[in-house]
């Protein structure tokens, strides 16, 4: 099994509406991994800050949630910003968390 397969296996299980990924080594930046995740009907977004993310969530995903009752979002905390403590409590407490690294 390659390192890419190990990463992709993390996204094989049933997911919550938001899956948070701490990715300090930016493993999800590889195009083939991004494409494989997107074929699983998951949408990748980068978490930069709480206000921008909340705006995206409320303007794009909240209407989808209200209409269909679901959405599958993978929010990536990349590089030096890969710290779950940066995520608002209400968003992370009911979400799945994954930590990826070269180690």
Contact 46, 38 (CB under 8 A): no
pLDDT at 62: 83
C-alpha to C-alpha distance for 23 and 100, rounded to whole angstroms: 5
Q: Is the dihedral of CA 41, 11, 103, 99 positive or negative?
A: positive
Q: What is the pTM of this model?
A: 0.87
Residue-by-residue DSSP string for 56-101 = HIIIIIHHHHHHHS---EEEEEEGGG--GGGS-HHHHTTSEEEE--
Tokens of 85: 């403590």
Note the pLDDT tens digit of each residue in 21-45.
999 999 999 999 999 999 988 999 9
pLDDT less than 50: residues of the chain: none
pLDDT at 13: 62
């Amino acid at each position: 099994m390659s390192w890419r397969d190990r990463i992709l296996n993390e996204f094989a299980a049933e997911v919550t509406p938001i899956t948070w990924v701490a990715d300090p080594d930016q493993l999800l930046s590889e195009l083939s991994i991004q494409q494989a995740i997107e074929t699983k009907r998951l949408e990748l977004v980068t978490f930069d800050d709480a206000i921008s993310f909340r705006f995206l969530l409320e303007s794009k995903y909240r209407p989808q949630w209200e209409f269909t009752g679901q959405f599958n979002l993978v929010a990536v905390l990349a590089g030096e910003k890969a710290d779950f403590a940066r995520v608002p409590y209400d968003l992370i407490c009911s979400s799945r968390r994954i930590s990826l690294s070269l180690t």
